[in-house]
Amino acid sequence: MPYFSVVIPTYNRARLLEETLASVFAQDDTDYEVLVIDDGSTDDTLASLARLGDRVRVLRQANAGQGMARNLGIREARGEYVVFLDSDDLWFPWTLSTYREAIRMHGGPAVVMGQAKTFTDPMALTGEESEPLRTRFFADYLASAEARFIRTACAVAVRTEALRRVGGFCARRIVAEDYDLLYRLGVEPGFAFIEAPVTLGYRRHSGSSSTDLERGHEGTVFLMEQEQQGHYPGGASRRRERLLMLLFGLRHVTHWMLAHRRWGLALDLYRRSLAYHLEVPRWRYMLGFPPYVLATSMMRRGRDG
């Protein structure tokens, strides 16, 4: 049985997928299996994968989105840990060995999260070097709520049994399905955050579309609805930790929307989250956001006018 099951969903990214798989095959730690889940691609993805023979287990489904594709990979995984990788991102040669070392150091935590370096040109990653392992450890994911580090939900290794216990990913096509999963894993024992080295090259595609912003709004609303309906673990005693995480992400999303002049979407999230911000509380955001929106919109309109 392999130690890691690398689960890669893909849809019409044959050339990028080749680069992604090359970074997997270059790993120092070779105790892994690779599962590529083709989400109904219409390009030459399957032909490209066929050339790899038994180096990759190829699973197919009708187009249903990344969440469902990852769930198929979780069901078929044979490893002790599932490591997720998007089909346009890249690993460094030390990625899996770093995960394994963090797992050993902390006695087999349910969730290990790495850090990402953003790139548009893969050459930007060539100067990155491995460093001595530095981690922060928490009793579980929710216990890290007040820690101020960038949460890279696309750079995680998770115990396979824990993934199956919480039901895997949400079936809906939302941009926040990875954060939803982390919240549902919130009380699984052990969370290790890797401060160094960087473990993922996250490919940033040029141009953020209006559709992306609307999906970001939809995903954030979904997370708040899940909390309101009591779908996340921990009960009343862990509610503040859940809200701290949810609202931190929401504030980031609202500022992203303002940067793209989507005032209405940003203000809608502000309105929906007011009761939560009051409960935590976050006075600075509650009192400062409306005038900030007004000032930002007037400045932008002044420059455009």
Residue 299 has pLDDT above 80, yes or no: no
pLDDT band at 207 (very low <50, low <70, confident <90, very high): very low
Task: Please check whether residue 115 is in contact with residue 130, taking contact to mean a CB–CB distance below 8 angstroms.
Answer: no
Q: Percent of the chain, pLDDT > 70?
A: 96
- CATH among 3.40.50.970, 3.90.550.10, 3.90.950.10, 2.60.40.3080 for 4-203: 3.90.550.10
Q: What is the pLDDT of residue 171?
A: 87
Q: Give residue-wise pLDDT tens across range 16-36.
A: 999 999 999 999 999 999 999
Query: Per-residue DSSP letters for 5-68?
Result: EEEEEESS-HHHHHHHHHHHHT-S---EEEEEEE-S--SSHHHHHHTTGGGSEEEE-SS--HHH
pTM of this structure: 0.93
> Mean pLDDT of all residues in the chain?
94
Q: What is the pLDDT of residue 301?
A: 63
Q: What are phi and psi of 268, to 5 degrees?
A: -65, -40
Query: Per-residue DSSP letters for 225-287?
Result: HHHHTT-STTTGGGHHHHHHHHHHHHHHHHHHHHHTT-HHHHHHHHHHHHHHHHHTT-HHHHH
For 239-267, letters b (16+ CB in 10 Å) and e give: bebbbbbbbebbbebbebbbeeebeebbb
Higher pLDDT, 39 or 305: 39
Helix (H) or strand (E) holding 137: strand 134-138
Q: Give residue-wise pLDDT tens across range 95-109.
A: 999 999 999 999 999
Q: Percent of the chain, pLDDT > 90?
A: 86
- Enumerate the β-bridge partners of residue 57: 35
Q: What is the DSSP letter of 134?
A: E
Residue 208 has pLDDT above 60, yes or no: no
Question: Could you count the other beta carbons within 10 Å of the beta carbon of residue 3?
Answer: 18
pLDDT band at 305 (very low <50, low <70, confident <90, very high): low
Q: Give residue-wise pLDDT tens across range 164-205.
A: 999 999 988 888 999 999 999 999 999 999 999 999 999 987
Spatial CA neighbour of 77 closest among 20, 22, 32, 10: 32
Question: In the chain, which segments carry CATH 3.90.550.10?
Answer: 4-203
Classify residue 138 as exposed, middle or buried by CB count within 10 Å of its CB (0-12, 13-18, 19+).
middle
Spatial CA neighbour of 91 closest among 19, 185, 176: 19
